[in-house]
Chains A and B, each alone.
Chain A
Amino acid sequence: MKGKHDKFKSPTRRQVIGGIGMGTATALLGMPLVARAQSEPIRIGFPTPLTGPFGAEARDQVKSAELAVKQFNDAGGLGGRKAELLVRDDKLNAGEAATRTLELIEKDKVHAVVGALSSAVQLAVNQVTRARSTLYISISQSDTINEVKDWSRYTFHEALNPHMTTAAVAKHTFKKGMKIAYLAADYAYGHEMLRGFKRAQAAIGAASVGEILHPLGAPDYSTFLPRISAMKPDILCICNFGRDQANSIKQAVEFGMKQQMKIVVPVLLHNQRLAVGPEVFEGVVGGANYYWGLEETIPSAKAFNNAFRAANNGAIPTDYGAYGYTGVKSLLQAITAAGGTETDKVVAALEGLKYDVAKGPQSYRKCDHQSIQSVLVLESKKKADMKSDVDLFRVVATEQSGEAMLRTCAELGFPA
């Protein structure tokens, strides 16, 4: 993470003068614009990796975000003012995402940005929105986005963060005295999840018997497995994402690891479970922000699922897809509360917002703008126990996160 800020040079004298000039010009021209602003649509930029290995999750995000916008417009918008979603493909590339975001802000004049699916790409988007004082609702897992050095007054983190996810998963899987082995992908996501689990492990009183970092996107894990087997752990904790998760679990099962230890992952992915099949994932436990099965107990989940089914030929929303809905929905609720798109007012509205749109009550914490929300702990079902093709997981626990599961504001570096 170090050196990220170096990419943005401090402004030269000429740019500063130019900026002041522009500012004055905008202030002068601003008068007639205010009247027009009432009727122009609310534009929401939505960068997401439509192409590449997270394409399936990205398309689910877009479908859910479009649903949130449609519901807002069908209800009459903001006093007749409609919302509009501008979807852009960030190709899972930080540079591409930064360029698209800049275009959205400068050329398309969006009022806010929602999106990004990978933690590294999300941080790149955050750099741009922060420099341009633009609202950003981030919907991918990250711990650093909460911390002071990456924090922006205009950024709200709607997704779970690794800290709360791993705390919830560890609480329901780790026991005092257990031996834990870790296999983590060697990049930001893997490192952050590993850090979270180790913290939880220390608090619970379990012990680490070894950590192995694997290269991102490795196709074969057979050479890591003998060493893990020799560590004789009670739990193998696999911290990676997307196809890496599918491949590593598939091969760990092939090597008979499941007979010797339990497999635990930070985030149990809906689409990867579909891609690999029930036999391989059976008994694997992991966290999630959303699972459609919540509809049995939570009314807002039922409403979201039904609306999604109606709009998508009976398909159900997935975990990362749901972020598109909760992210856009919370933004539009705040805009409604603020009575317009003026950034400072929307920031204030988001800080005070209490929303329940898909998974029970949520709110943004004032100091770091992290969404306080529940973390689901799921277990992948046996084929025989599945009632339908989409009956993938059993909800082991719904961990009401509250402030207790987040790092304190002081710990993140915010002044008390």
Chain B
Amino acid sequence: MDLQLIAMQLLSGAVLGAVLVMTALGFTIIFGMLGVVNFAHGALFMVGAYAGVAVAMQTGSFWWALLVAPIAVGAIGLLIERLLIRPLYSRPPDDPILLTFGLGYVLVEGVRIVFGNDGIPFSTPSALVGVVNLGIGYFPIYRLFVIGVVAFILLLLWLGLEKTRFGLIVRAGARDPQIMRVLGVDMRRLWFLVFGLGIGLTALGGVLAAPMRNVSPEMGTIVLAEAFVVTVIGGLGSIAGAVVAGILVGLVVSMTSLFAPEMATISMFALMALVLLIRPQGLFGRAGV
């Protein structure tokens, strides 16, 4: 086992981690701010990928797909919040879980009706095809591009949440919505926008994943599980936690692939169980939340 291979393995793990962060981001934001466990997350991820396919077919450009599909699906997210989630805010937390669980099925079947059961081809944009020599081995350019996009989105999110008035309200609202209401903040409008943002990010994850993973109606199933694992390890609702957890999961999966490849998927869940035993609130979570 030479050092070069281990370095390469660490790198692929970190990149896989970035992909996982991207797939989990929308889930963790919606959970953190609204307290809604979005079981339709995987389905909306898939809808994002299909929206990307549709836009790319119309315009012939990956870049339009990357821009338009998340906005369009984010708008669908706004509609879902307004029509389906909002009536359930005063109800017990299992109600939105049941609702989004069912919604996931509806979306998957809807896509099956429109696009068929088979997968749909989605090529890597021609500018990003190929591999680049990193000194320790060859790595796909597209995956490096994905890291760049994820870093950019995280930077925007951080600036938005930490440096703007809107971000301040969102953070305060996540901590104590009642006080915010007393202070005269319209929490409904806030939740509406945050939900849309979360779904838009989920869809962006779908579009980014499309050139790497097969685009099919079932592609979201595993994504929901991945997002759940990353969110739980990182601490529910913590964006920094999701980033650290995503990369940690990526590294653990990658190292397991090297030494016990058939355990690669299980290792992710084993890590989650371990974290829950030692630190039940997750790496970055606040106790009691």
* Interface assignment of B117: CB less than 8 Å from any CB of chain A: yes
**B100 contacts the other chain (CB 8 A):** no
Q: Is A133 an interface residue (CB 8 A)?
A: no
Chief secondary structure at chain A's binding surface: helix
A74 to B266, CA, bound (A): 53
Interface residues of A in 217-242 (CB under 8 A from B): 217-220, 222-227, 229-230
Contacts of A246 in B (CB 8 A): 119, 214
Q: Tell me the minimal C-beta distance from A353 to chain B in angstroms.
A: 34
Structural contact, A255 and B138, CB atoms closer than 8 A? yes
Interface check A76, CB cutoff 8 A? no
Q: Is B281 an interface residue (CB 8 A)?
A: no
Given that A218-B265, A254-B124, A271-B118 are known contacts, is A223 also in contact with B214, CB under 8 Å in the complex?
no
Across the two chains, which residue of chain A brings its CB closest to B257? A223
Q: Which residues of B contact A272 (CB under 8 A)?
A: 119
Contact with A along B109-140 (1 / 0, CB 8 A): 00000001111110110000011000001111
Q: Is A338 an interface residue (CB 8 A)?
A: no
Which of B2, B119, B121, B131 makes the CB contact (< 8 A) with A256? B131
Contacts A275-B118, A277-B121 given; does A222 touch B15 at CB 8 Å: yes
Chain A residues 97 to 122 lying within 8 A of chain B, measured CB to CB, are none
B120 → chain A closest CB, angstroms: 7
A235: min CB distance to chain B, Å: 19
A270 CB → nearest B CB, Å: 10
Q: Do A243 and B214 form a contact, CB below 8 Å, given A226-B9, A230-B5? A: yes
For the complex, give the distance between the alpha carbons of A230 and B138 in Å.
Answer: 11
- State whether B16 touches A275 (Cβ < 8 A): no
A136-144, A208-216, A320-328: which lies at the interface: A208-216
A207 at interface, CB cutoff 8 A? no
A276, B16: Cβ atoms closer than 8 Å: no
Task: Name, among B16, B216, B219, the residue most crowded by chain A CB atoms within 10 Å (CB to CB).
Answer: B216
Interface centre among B5, B222, B261, by most chain A C-beta atoms within 10 angstroms, is B261
Q: Which of A52, A224, A274 contacts B257 (CB 8 A)?
A: A224
What are the residues of chain B within 8 A of A227 when measuring CB–CB? 5, 9, 257-258
Instruction: Please tell me if A153 contacts chain B, counting CB pairs below 8 Å.
Output: no
What per-residue 1/0 map shows which CB atoms of A240-256 lie under 8 Å from chain B?
00010011001100111
Minimal Cβ-Cβ distance residue in B for A248: B214
**In chain A, residues 376-401, which have Cβ atoms closer than 8 Å to a Cβ of chain B?**
none
Q: How far is the CB of A91 from chain B (nearest CB, A)?
A: 13
| In-complex Cβ contact of A219 among B2, B119, B219 (8 A) | B219
Closest to A274 in B: B118
CB nearest to B266 among chain A residues: A215
> Is A279 within 8 A of B123, CB to CB?
yes
In the assembly, what is the distance between CA of A225 and CA of B253, in Å?
13
Within 8 A of B (CB), among A257-312: 271-272, 274-277, 279-280
| Contact of A77 with B by CB under 8 A | no
Most chain B CB inside 10 Å of its own CB: which residue of A53, A213, A220, A225: A220
A255 to B12, CA, bound (A): 11
Q: Are B119 and A226 in contact (CB under 8 A)?
A: no
Contact of B119 among A218, A243, A279 (CB under 8 A): A243
Do A229 and B137 touch (CB < 8 A)? yes
CA distance A351 to B221 in the complex (A): 45
- Give B23 Cβ to nearest chain A Cβ, in Å: 10
Q: Is A56 an interface residue (CB 8 A)?
A: yes
Q: Which residues of A contact B138 (CB under 8 A)?
A: 229, 255-256
Q: B48 → chain A, closest Cβ, in Å?
A: 15
Q: Which residues of B contact A226 (CB under 8 A)?
A: 5, 8-9, 12, 137
Inter-chain contacts of B5 with A (CB < 8 A)? 226-227, 230
Question: Is A55 among interface residues, defined by CB-CB distance under 8 A?
Answer: yes
Decide: B16 and A220 in contact? CB cutoff 8 A.
yes
B71 within 8 A of A: no
Q: How far is the CA of A186 from the CA of B4 in the complex (A)?
A: 27
Q: Are B9 and A277 in contact (CB under 8 A)?
A: no
A226 to B1, CA, bound (A): 12
> A226-B137, A255-B140 known; A213 and B261 CB under 8 Å?
yes
A222-B12, A256-B131, A279-B123 as given contacts; A243 in contact with B266, CB under 8 Å: no
A214 contacts B214, C-beta separation under 8 Å: no
Interface residues of B in 210-262 (CB under 8 A from A): 211-216, 218-219, 222-223, 253-254, 257-258, 261-262
Determine which of A213, A218, A220, A280 lies in contact with B19 in the assembled complex, contact meaning CB atoms within 8 Å: A220
> Per-residue CB proximity of B255-285 to A under 8 Å, as 1/0?
0011001111110000000000000000000
B214 nearest CB neighbor, chain A only: A246
Cβ–Cβ < 8 Å partners of A212 in chain B: 257, 261
B142 within 8 A of A: yes
Q: Which of B211, B212, B253 lies at the interface centre, i.e. has the most chain A CB atoms within 10 A of its CB?
A: B212
| B118 near A220: Cβ-Cβ < 8 Å | no
The distance from the CB of A281 to the nearest CB of chain B, in whole angstroms, is: 10
Please tell me if the beta carbons of B264 and A214 are within 8 angstroms of each other in the complex: yes
Residues of chain B with a CB closer than 8 A to A250's CB? 212-214
Task: Return chain B residues, CB-CB under 8 Å to A279.
Answer: 123
- Nearest CB on B from A383, distance (A): 11
- 15 residue pairs from A and B, CB less than 8 Å apart: A56-B116, A215-B264, A218-B264, A222-B15, A223-B254, A224-B257, A224-B261, A227-B9, A230-B2, A247-B214, A250-B213, A271-B118, A275-B215, A275-B216, A277-B121
Interface residues of A (CB under 8 A from B): 52-53, 55-56, 59, 186, 212-215, 217-220, 222-227, 229-230, 243, 246-247, 250-251, 254-256, 271-272, 274-277, 279-280
Extra contacts, 5 of them, besides A229-B138, A256-B138 (Cβ < 8 A), are A219-B223, A223-B257, A227-B5, A246-B214, A280-B121
